[in-house]
């Protein structure tokens, strides 16, 4: 177990109790959830009861008001169970922070306590069938009509799409705005809002228990009070909060790399070929040495970034580097690990098979790695 400099004894005690909880409530059921293509709501509720959802939310809204180090631990431990639990981190560390940061007092009182208990599951809907990377070009509109916005449009690839009770939807309140991003706002749309329906639950290469879906808005009348922050500031809010979203993807990718390295080291020591363990071939040893070096360097960079993020520094450039590099490394480790498992690596009984499938999307979502490079380039001031 690696030690992180921003974690104190409290954090480690917390990690142990969370791990014990997951050994009882998650590990034994994970395979079933993968088959069901869904993590049951009851598991979210149990997480909430134990204080494992949104721990950084202030106590007056039901949270524990603790630092983000606790969230890092939760995301690491969920990733150890399986990457398909990423929707829980998305709720606690990506969606709820929009309400915390930009919500009015009334909105916070209305939504936060139930987000903490798991009664409200959340999602964020940016991507549309016609646009993902080019976010400013979204087509979903929200037109003000008296006390309501009338929303029309479609979203896709939305994590927690089917199960969510509250969705932060990225809309165009001013389709004519120049530049385009100035016309973007964030609107909270709740489960029973007329005109809001779910499309298909999407069939994915991996992350099988993660619920990913399409959302449809047809003349959906959303009360004006559900606007988050100010009209026209949505793009700015997104840019502000994407730092933590991408850092989270880096945390999960790093954890996945650590898990895969461990799985592979165990395997190569136990499997024999030509009269000796395959760990004794120099090729195996060099591959393991390469992976171990990548894992160590990745961890050092990531830990420093987490500490800087927790101090409130702007680490957008470094986070973009980490998201890109750590997911690329994890994908390479997945591939080398599968190779070292031989035929067994291609069999679903071996965890590496699932890890290999699941890691692929990490270089695509939360902003593709190509987009990460464009951000790095922009900030290098070439």
Ligand X SMILES: Cc1cc2nc3c(=O)[nH]c(=O)nc-3n(C[C@H](O)[C@H](O)[C@H](O)COP(=O)(O)OP(=O)(O)OC[C@H]3O[C@@H](n4cnc5c(N)ncnc54)[C@H](O)[C@@H]3O)c2cc1C
Alpha-carbon Rg for the chain in angstroms: 21
Cβ burial of 47 (10 Å; 0-12, 13-18, 19+) is buried
Residue matched to tokens 């070929």: 273
Provide the minimum distance between the beta carbon of 274 and ligand X in the complex, in angstroms, as a whole number: 41
Question: Using CA atoms, how far apart are residues 360 and 299, in angstroms rounded to an integer?
Answer: 20
Q: Write down how long the chain is.
A: 382
Q: Which stretch binds ligand X (CB under 6 A): 75-83, 181-189, 242-250, 369-377?
A: 369-377
Q: Which stretch binds ligand X (CB under 6 A): 29-37, 102-110, 123-131, 262-270?
A: 123-131
Q: Is 374 in the site for ligand X (CB under 6 A)?
A: yes
Q: Is 50 in the site for ligand X (CB under 6 A)?
A: no
Provide the minimum distance between the beta carbon of 371 and ligand X in the complex, in angstroms, as a whole number: 6
Of 262, 266, 246, 210, nearest in space to 326 by CA: 246
Q: Cα 112 to the chain's mean position, in Å? A: 19
Q: Is 115 in the site for ligand X (CB under 6 A)?
A: no
Q: Cα 186 to the chain's mean position, in Å? A: 19
Active-site residue list: 245
Nearer to ligand X, 74 or 123 (CB): 123
Question: Using CA atoms, how far apart are residues 72 and 5, in angstroms rounded to an integer?
Answer: 12
Nearer to ligand X, 173 or 212 (CB): 212
What is the total count of residues that contact ligand X (CB under 6 A)? Answer: 23
Cis preceding linkage at 268, omega within 30:
no
Among 16, 50, 109, 133, the residue binding ligand X under the rule CB under 6 A is: 133
Q: Which stretch binds ligand X (CB under 6 A): 225-233, 234-242, 310-318, 368-376?
A: 368-376
Q: Is 235 in the site for ligand X (CB under 6 A)?
A: no
Q: Where on the phi/psi map is residue 3: left (φ > 0), alpha (ψ -120 to 50), or beta?
A: beta
Region 136-175 residues binding ligand X, contact defined as CB under 6 A: 157-159
Region 179-218 residues binding ligand X, contact defined as CB under 6 A: 204, 207, 212
Q: Which residues bind ligand X (CB under 6 A)?
A: 123-127, 131-133, 157-159, 204, 207, 212, 361, 364-368, 370-371, 374
């Amino acid at each position: 177990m690696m030690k992180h400099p921003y974690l104190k004894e409290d954090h480690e005690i917390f990690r142990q109790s969370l791990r014990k909880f997951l050994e009882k409530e998650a590990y034994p059921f994970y395979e079933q959830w993968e088959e069901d293509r869904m993590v049951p709501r009851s598991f979210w509720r149990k997480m909430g009861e134990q204080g494992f959802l949104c721990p950084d939310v202030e106590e007056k809204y039901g949270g524990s008001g603790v630092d983000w180090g606790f969230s890092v631990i939760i995301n690491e431990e969920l990733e150890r169970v399986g990457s398909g639990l990423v929707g829980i981190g998305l709720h606690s560390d990506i969606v709820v922070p929009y309400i915390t940061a930009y919500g009015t007092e009334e909105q916070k009182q209305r939504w936060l306590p139930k987000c903490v208990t798991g009664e409200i599951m959340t999602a964020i809907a940016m991507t549309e069938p016609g646009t993902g990377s080019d976010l400013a070009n979204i087509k979903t509109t929200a037109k003000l009509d008296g006390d309501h916005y009338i929303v029309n449009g479609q979203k896709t690839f939305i994590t927690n799409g089917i199960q969510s009770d509250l969705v932060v939807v990225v809309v165009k309140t001013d389709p004519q705005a120049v530049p385009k991003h100035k016309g973007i706002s964030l609107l909270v749309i709740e489960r029973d809002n007329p005109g809001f329906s779910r499309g298909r639950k999407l069939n994915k290469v991996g992350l099988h228990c993660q619920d990913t879906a399409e959302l449809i808005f047809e003349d959906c009348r959303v009360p004006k009070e559900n606007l988050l922050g100010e009209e026209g500031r949505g793009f700015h809010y997104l840019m502000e909060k994407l730092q933590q979203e991408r850092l989270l993807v880096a945390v999960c990718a790093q954890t996945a790399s650590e898990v895969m390295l461990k799985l592979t080291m165990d395997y190569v020591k136990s499997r024999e070929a030509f009269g000796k363990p395959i760990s004794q071939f120099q090729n195996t040893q060099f591959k393991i040495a390469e992976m171990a070096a990548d894992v160590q360097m990745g961890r050092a960079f990531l830990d420093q970034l987490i500490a800087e993020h927790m101090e409130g520094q702007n680490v957008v450039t470094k986070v973009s580097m980490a998201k890109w590099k750590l997911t690329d490394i994890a994908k390479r480790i997945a591939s080398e690990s599968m190779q070292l498992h031989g035929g067994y690596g291609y069999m679903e009984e071996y965890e590496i098979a699932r890890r290999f499938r699941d890691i692929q999307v990490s270089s695509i979502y939360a902003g593709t790695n190509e987009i990460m490079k464009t951000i790095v380039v922009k900030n290098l001031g070439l």
